[in-house]
Amino acid sequence: EQAEKDGYAHYMLKEIHEQPRALRNTMTGRIDEAQKKVIFPTLQLTPESVQKLEKIYIVACGTAYHAGVIGKQVIERLAHIPVEVDVASEFRYRQPLFQKNTLTIVVSQSGETADTLAALREAKRNGSAVLAITNVVGSSIAREADDVITTNAGPEIAVASTKAYTSQLIGFYLLGLYLAQGKETVDQQARAEVLSALQELPDQVEAILAHADGIRQYAESIKEENQLFFLGRGLDYAVSMEGSLKLKEISYIHSEAYAAGELKHGTLALIEEGTRVIALSTQADLYEKMVSNITEVKARGAVVLGIALANNMELHRSVDEVCLIPVTNELLTPVLSVIPLQLIAYYTSVALGHDVDRPRNLAKSVTVE
């Protein structure tokens, strides 16, 4: 087993460090450099059928669901198609409405999650085309879907998903760009810019991983806490959900991700002297709003770690500590901002002496309902 961990203390740390390669492998063969286009030669979903799509459902569980929450925003913003995102165990029983030109996207690392498979079958029974984003070729979900985009992350052993998640995000960016190609309402220049920034991400993830020492110290400082809050807006909120899940899964510290604008409607009551908050603030158009939310929690005594892009020269004035990530296109920030959150969860779990790769009560793949 030690050999399989490649010298890393845990599978999770190994998999965190494998992300640059996983992201590159997920892009390989899918980008036509000359034409600045995404290509999916095997998809039945052709450029013509794409034009007719009226609605998309994204359905998944756990971390894959969190990738879907980002996927919704990515597809809506890149390709201008309305998207609804659901957890599979809700979707399968809520009698969703299927219009004529609906596409259902199921996301699953293992391709075997019982609720996600049942949701896929429900969609097919209702005449929807199904596209799977999965890491396991030949899995039940891959076999039953009409179309498959494989994430080439390689086997993921640790229960807490890391490289599968960021590879699913790459899958959604590629798909969003594919759906946007040739669409009249889409600014094709902006689309090409996202495509070229996408290809920078693996190197940028590598750069974050090379400077992880500060994150280790931060983890040490939160290990005695019994609760922690993640705040963000838009894409940052979606990443917060994943950061909070990671921390819960392996450190057993209670945490909650909150849409920062909702603070006043409840969570603010829980903020007191010393409460630890992680505030993501990578989106320029939401920046002032986030600063005002940060000021609100600081006024109640919160101790705040801010996560922002490296060209942000201001946030340090509003928070206690900052963690800066490389500058990228705003739509792509989740792939970078989640890396420090994965590392915080990992190092906190290690500091507490927990079984990082096999957290209590959880399984890697949930194949029963």
> Among 253, 256, 249, which Cα is nearest to 277's?
256
Q: Minimum Å distance from CB 353 to ligand G6P?
A: 21
Q: Minimum Å distance from CB 264 to ligand G6P?
A: 31
For residue 307, what are the contacts with CB-CB under 8 A and spacing of at least 6?
A: 278, 279, 280, 281, 282, 322, 323, 324, 325, 337, 340, 341
> Which part of the chain contacts ligand G6P (CB under 6 A), choosing from 49-57, 77-85, 292-300, 357-365?
357-365
For residue 56, what are the contacts with CB-CB under 8 A and spacing of at least 6?
A: 75, 81, 82, 83, 84, 102, 103, 104, 105
The residue among 289 and 364 lying less far from ligand G6P, judged by its C-beta, is 364
| Residue appearing with tokens 């495509």 | 195
Torsion from C-alpha of 20, 23, 29, 31, nearest 10 degrees: -100
The residue among 181 and 255 lying less far from ligand G6P, judged by its C-beta, is 255
> Among 37, 178, 192, which Cα is nearest to 103's?
178
If one asks whether residue 21 binds ligand G6P (CB under 6 A), the answer comes out as no
For residue 281, what are the contacts with CB-CB under 8 A and spacing of at least 6?
A: 232, 236, 287, 290, 291, 294, 306, 307, 308, 312, 315
Question: H or E stretch including 251?
Answer: helix 235-251
> Which part of the chain contacts ligand G6P (CB under 6 A), choosing from 58-66, 204-212, 236-244, 273-281?
58-66
Contacting ligand G6P within 317-356 (CB under 6 A): none
Contacting ligand G6P within 212-271 (CB under 6 A): none
Looking only at the bridges linking them, the beta strands covering 102-108 and 83-87 are: unpaired
Please indicate whether residue 14 is annotated as part of the active site. Answer: no
The distance of Cα 219 from the centroid of its chain, to the nearest Å, equals 21
Per rule CB under 6 A, count of chain residues that contact ligand G6P: 15
The residue among 126 and 365 lying less far from ligand G6P, judged by its C-beta, is 365
Among 183, 223, 354, 364, binds ligand G6P (CB under 6 A): 364
If one asks whether residue 61 binds ligand G6P (CB under 6 A), the answer comes out as yes
Among 102, 110, 281, 293, binds ligand G6P (CB under 6 A): 110
Contacting ligand G6P within 123-162 (CB under 6 A): 159, 161
Among 9, 137, 299, 362, binds ligand G6P (CB under 6 A): 362
Contact status, residue 295 vs residue 270, Cβ threshold 8 Å: no
> Which part of the chain contacts ligand G6P (CB under 6 A), choosing from 24-32, 46-54, 55-63, 342-350?
55-63
If one asks whether residue 25 binds ligand G6P (CB under 6 A), the answer comes out as no
Q: Minimum Å distance from CB 172 to ligand G6P?
A: 14
Question: H or E stretch including 307?
Answer: strand 303-309
The residue among 116 and 283 lying less far from ligand G6P, judged by its C-beta, is 116
Q: Minimum Å distance from CB 250 to ligand G6P?
A: 10
Contact status, residue 161 vs residue 109, Cβ threshold 8 Å: yes
If one asks whether residue 63 binds ligand G6P (CB under 6 A), the answer comes out as yes
If one asks whether residue 116 binds ligand G6P (CB under 6 A), the answer comes out as yes
Question: H or E stretch including 32?
Answer: strand 31-32
Catalytic residue positions?
364
Q: Which residues in this chain contact ligand G6P in the complex, by CB under 6 A?
A: 61-64, 108-110, 113, 116, 159, 161, 362, 364-366
